[in-house]
Amino acid sequence: MALVHSFEKNGNILFKYRGQIPVILFLMSVPAIYFTDYQLFDKNEQLDLILLITCAVFSFAGQAIRAIAIGTSNKHTSGRNTKEQVADALNTKGIYSTVRHPLYLGNYFMWIGIVMFTYNIWFVLVVSFMFWLYYERIMFAEERFLERKFGQDYVDWSMKVPAFWPSMKNHIKTEIPFSMKTILRREYSGVTATIIGFVFVAFLRDWFTTGEPHYKVSYGIVLGIGLAISLILRTLKHNTKVLFEADRS
């Protein structure tokens, strides 16, 4: 099999299972946290708070990037499809005029914020490297699909827009208005997963540094709020028309 076909085949397989990445990161974080020395941070609460805020900002930035991409997209573009590539229209304006894969860029920042919260630089580097290897193949397969479907239109757009790191050089304002309903309908699970990720890391850090698990009230409150919001939005999405919008995926 030619390398180009192998990359595309692997990319399509990885595309189907990209939703399992959070589980892999959770498992990988356990030994990373266990072997990290937290004495410096335990003695300096101010430093710990600054780093927590920094990590949260990274994750929030990832959520914001995803929100911009999803909130300004038409139906059947930037979808959550998991079985195969789907696109009835080509996004070329708004955030898609600055970067070809904003959702994957958002994913990176969203999860790297949690990974940074382990305070293990080697874990950050390993996850960044693995993320690139994984998503490089997904992006390759996706671009092959789009090129076959949209032909020269896709080629012309891709020649001007970087794949992963944004550039405002050729920014074109989108005519599609930002939809908060779309964000509430589609992104609640990602926000909840991010909250769980931060609490999970904090819980393990406390456990491994003290030798016993600590079930803090603050952990329960944060988890409770996150899960409650997720449950409410999921109920509104599946059982009401409150979050429904025509021509939105």
Query: Average pLDDT in the 123-138 region?
Result: 93
Cα 64 to Cα 80, 83, 187: the distances in Å are 17, 26, 10
Using alpha carbons, list the distances in angstroms from residue 61 to 176, 207, 237: 21, 29, 25
* Per-residue pLDDT tens over the stretch 47-69: 888 999 999 999 999 999 999 99
Higher pLDDT, 82 or 217: 217
Give domain limits for the chain.
3-177
Residue 160 φ then ψ, to 5°: -100, -15
Q: Name the more confident of 108 and 8.
A: 108
205 Cβ contact partners less than 8 Å away, ≥ 6 residues apart? 33, 36, 38, 118
Please state the rounded mean pLDDT for residues 16-35. 87
Q: Is 32 left (phi over 0), alpha (psi -120 to 50) or beta?
A: alpha
**Cβ neighbours for 222, distance < 8 A, ≥ 6 positions apart:** 195, 198, 199
What is the structure's pLDDT at 220? 92
Phi/psi at 239 (5° precision): -120, 0
For residue 3, the model assigns a pLDDT of 67
pLDDT of residue 43: 76
Contacts for 149 with CB less than 8 Å, ≥ 6 apart:
87
Q: What is the dihedral of CA 32, 34, 36, 42, to 10 degrees?
A: 130
| Interval 15-21 mean pLDDT | 78
In angstroms, the Cα distances linking 3 to 8, 61, 140 are 9, 35, 12
CATH code given to domain 3-177: 1.20.120
Nearest to 182 by CA among 68, 19, 60: 68
Specify the pLDDT at position 24: 86
Q: Alpha helices of 17-96 — where are they, by DSSP H?
A: 21-34, 39-43, 45-71
The answer to whether the beta carbons of residues 63 and 195 sit under 8 Å apart is no
88 pLDDT higher than 80: no
Report how far residue 126's alpha carbon sits from residue 148's, in angstroms, rounded to the nearest whole number.
34
pLDDT surpasses 90 at 214 = no
Mean pLDDT (whole number) for 176-185:
89
pLDDT over threshold 90, residue 247: no
